[in-house]
Chains A and B, each alone.
Chain A
Amino acid sequence: DSGVTQTPKHLITATGQRVTLRCSPRSGDLSVYWYQQSLDQGLQFLIQYYNGEERAKGNILERFSAQQFPDLHSELNLSSLELGDSALYFCASSVWDSLGNTIYFGEGSWLTVV
């Protein structure tokens, strides 16, 4: 258990709908990352937040948005869903420790768009 909690674990929704994925980082971690992993694909970086502010953006579609709240949990909002948005969405949090910027992944949220 990495300490990063993601909900829901699975969801199935129809095209055109909107969903929200939630992430609670490890206690004390200020950075939150969102990654998308499609079937047999690598980890595509979407966005990073640090202490409530957007730090970096990757290949995140305009239909997607995210935010990090004062309590440091984060939400990823996916709207106008398309079949191609079906993927495993990972949240990760990180902390600088003696090893470096170690990031820990949650178990992921499986999104199926039908």
Chain B
Amino acid sequence: QQPVQSPQAVILREGEDAVINCSSSKALYSVHWYRQKHGEAPVFLMILLKGGEQKGHEKISASFNEKKQQSSLYLTASQLSYSGTYFCGTEGNRDDKIIFGKGTRLHILP
């Protein structure tokens, strides 16, 4: 029940916007978003709990549509520091294991 992320990779110029999608075939309790730089540990961005919410973190925000079992991560006015691989992780029930998608590579060009 690995979530599916799309696109697999994105190349943007600094200042452009990006959307990364995450979908699951099963009901979700929560969706987690992480960013990983090459060779480093994934870094927590945000969690969205069921209830259909949207959260923001600087210029990075996300939405969670519980009914559609989908989440989207929005990066606006991208900065060079946003480059990396973004992973969504899904949790079927509270305290369930967290399964991550294969990731979306984001490369920001100056």
Q: Which residues of A contact B (CB under 8 A)?
A: 2, 31, 33, 35, 41-43, 45, 48, 50, 55-56, 58, 88, 90, 96, 99-108
Contacts and interface: CB of A to CB of B under 8 A. Distances in A.
B99 interface: yes
Interface of B: 2, 30, 32, 34, 39-44, 46-47, 49, 87, 89, 91, 94-103
B47 A45 contact: no
A36 B88 CA distance: 16
Contact of A100 (B30, B34, B40): B30
B98 A33 contact: yes
B94 A33 contact: no
A108 B41 contact: yes
Summarize A's interface: helix, strand, loop or mixed: strand
A48 B91 CA distance: 13
A7 to B, nearest CB: 14
A58 B34 CA distance: 20
A42 B87 contact: yes
Contacts of A41: 102
